[in-house]
């Protein structure tokens, strides 16, 4: 599976409700992959239920690991977040080591990709949970990006605004220093024009919350992102 080919990804939260017709519309929209994950209320049961419903459709289905208890076998890829701007080492290395102590011998490493996360919305549950330092200057954001991209050489750099639309100017500055990582953006895309704006800068646009607020708009973001390739 080549994440470099992903331009648009829908992110589904196991703790939120979608009916079968909505899932069908999402999976047949032309999006490049379905990412399953969330911050709160994610369990083994609701994760495996959502995976089974998405698995009926022929597109990549990946799990973003939010906690070890919700890891379900059968995904195409497992994305492991490393929150590099966390004030706590737990979210950079601590919880990862805990998980590997219990399950390291079972991991199929070709099915795992680590995401270097930079969380920038102070009001986001993910920012509060991980104690992220969100008030970054542009130079600080670029330094974190270089840390992920050039020092750690992680395959994914994820700029996460989680619930609010981010700063395209900051994203552009981050873009300018990324040499090899796939640049993901997620957060606050509620309009087709916003998806298109981000698609001009990021490699992969993650669309999440608007799915549950205005599904038609969410579906329209697929073409707005893909049209940036033309």
What are the chain's domains?
3-229 (3.20.20.390)
pLDDT at 194: 96
% the chain with pLDDT above 90:
88
Q: Do residues 226 and 7 make contact, with C-beta atoms less than 8 angstroms apart?
A: yes
Q: Do residues 176 and 146 make contact, with C-beta atoms less than 8 angstroms apart?
A: no
% the chain with pLDDT above 70:
99
Confidence of residue 229 (pLDDT cuts 50, 70, 90): low
pLDDT at 119: 97
pLDDT at 152: 97
Summarised one tens digit per residue, pLDDT across range 127-177 is 999 999 999 999 999 999 999 999 999 999 999 998 899 999 999 999 999
The Cβ of residue 89 has, within 10 Å, a number of other Cβ atoms equal to 10
Summarised one tens digit per residue, pLDDT across range 95-138 is 999 899 988 888 999 999 999 999 999 999 999 999 999 999 99
Confidence of residue 67 (pLDDT cuts 50, 70, 90): confident
pLDDT at 195: 97
Q: Do residues 119 and 91 make contact, with C-beta atoms less than 8 angstroms apart?
A: no
């Amino acid at each position: 599976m080549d994440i470099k080919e992903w331009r648009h990804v829908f992110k589904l939260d196991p703790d939120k409700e979608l009916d079968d017709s909505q899932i069908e519309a999402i999976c047949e929209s032309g999006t490049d992959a379905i990412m399953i994950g969330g911050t709160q209320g994610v369990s083994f049961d609701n994760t495996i239920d959502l995976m089974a419903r998405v698995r009926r459709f022929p597109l990549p289905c990946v799990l973003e690991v939010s906690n070890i208890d919700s890891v379900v076998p059968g995904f195409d890829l497992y994305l492991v977040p490393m929150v590099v701007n966390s004030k706590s080492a737990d979210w950079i290395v601590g919880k990862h080591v805990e998980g590997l102590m219990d399950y390291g011998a079972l991991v199929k490493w070709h099915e795992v990709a680590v995401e270097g996360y930079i969380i920038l919305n102070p009001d986001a549950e993910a920012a509060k949970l991980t104690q992220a330092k969100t008030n970054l200057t542009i130079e600080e954001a670029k330094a974190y990006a270089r840390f992920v991209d050039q020092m750690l050489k992680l395959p994914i750099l994820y700029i996460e605004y989680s619930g609010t639309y981010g700063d395209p100017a900051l994203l552009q500055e981050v873009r300018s220093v990324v040499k090899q990582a796939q640049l993901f953006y997620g957060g606050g895309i509620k309009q087709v024009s916003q998806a298109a704006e981000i698609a001009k800068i990021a490699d992969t646009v993650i669309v999440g919350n608007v799915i549950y607020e205005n599904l038609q708009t969410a579906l329209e973001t697929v073409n707005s992102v893909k049209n940036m390739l033309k």
